[in-house]
Structure 1
Amino acid sequence: MKKAKLLIIDDETEFVSTLTERLILRGYDAHGVTNFAEAVKFLTEFPDVIILDIGLPDIDGLEVLKKIKEFNPSIQVIMLSGYGDDEKIKKSLSYGAFDYLIKPVDIEELVSKIETARLKKEEIE
């Protein structure tokens, strides 16, 4: 079974580095960036799943989600946040996010959601 192509977008450099490394060790083709400007380069490589922090320094995560869905609606986006903001969770899901996780992220739960999101993307295509 093909492993998902992943893009991690989070402003915490250490978090991005660690998560990217852990996902690569699990066989994923994963890339991590710390802002939306860097992420744009990877969108053309058509990631299957994007793990997106809701609180980015250069642009709001909800705006990034909208831009991703405009670019390619089949890309599945798992939103991350350091806190549970019910309104932002509802908004992100209404804007097309696949799911929402609160940091610290349990890697097994994240991998499970990535796999489910990858399957959903394949159904859409």
Structure 2
Amino acid sequence: MATSGEEALGKVENDTYDAIVLDLMLPGMDGFEALKIIKARRPETQVILLTGRATVEMSAEAMKLGAMDFMEKPADIGQLIVKIKKAQVRKMILVERKSEE
């Protein structure tokens, strides 16, 4: 868990994660900026974005920047767990492909 975008980036720099659930509204830096940096540093990491004010444009931007999924808050925990499990599988596939190359 991180309380800011900067803290999340520090964690991503020091550890690897299969999936990151990232809020768009973060102190200091928004979730889109954090997403760009996370994907640049660790492209195989799967990111699920959360927001309280979803729009079609925001969803499209999230996907364009490399988010795996986009959910509106309050998120259904069951759906979020399913998405996290899918993220883990996607990351494993990406890592396997990379190691085969």
CA–CA separation in structure 2 for the residues paired with 1:69 and 1:41? 14
Percent same amino acid at aligned positions?
A: 37
SS at match of 1:52: strand
Given the two structures, how large is their TM-score scaled by the length of structure 1?
A: 0.72
1:1-125 matches, cutoff 5 A:
32-43=1-12, 44-125=14-95
Once the two structures are TM-superposed, the CA of residue 113 in structure 1 deviates from its matched residue by 0.2
Query: 1:38-82 deviations in whole A, cap 9, x for unaligned?
Result: 112311211110000111121121111000000010000000000
CA–CA separation in structure 2 for the residues paired with 1:85 and 1:92? 11
> Relative contact order, CA 8 A, sep 6+: which one is greater?
2
CA–CA separation in structure 1 for the residues paired with 2:35 and 2:17? 14
SS at match of 2:47: strand
Q: Which runs of 5+ in 2 are unaligned?
A: 96-101
Given the two structures, how large is their TM-score scaled by the length of structure 2?
A: 0.89
Would you tell me which structure has more helix in proportion to its own residues? Answer: 2
> Which shows bigger deviation, 85-94 or 70-79?
85-94
Aligned-residue CA RMSD in angstroms?
Answer: 0.9
Once the two structures are TM-superposed, the CA of residue 86 in structure 1 deviates from its matched residue by 1.5
What is the aligned length?
Answer: 94
SS at match of 1:77: strand
Q: Which runs of 5+ in 1 are unaligned?
A: 1-31
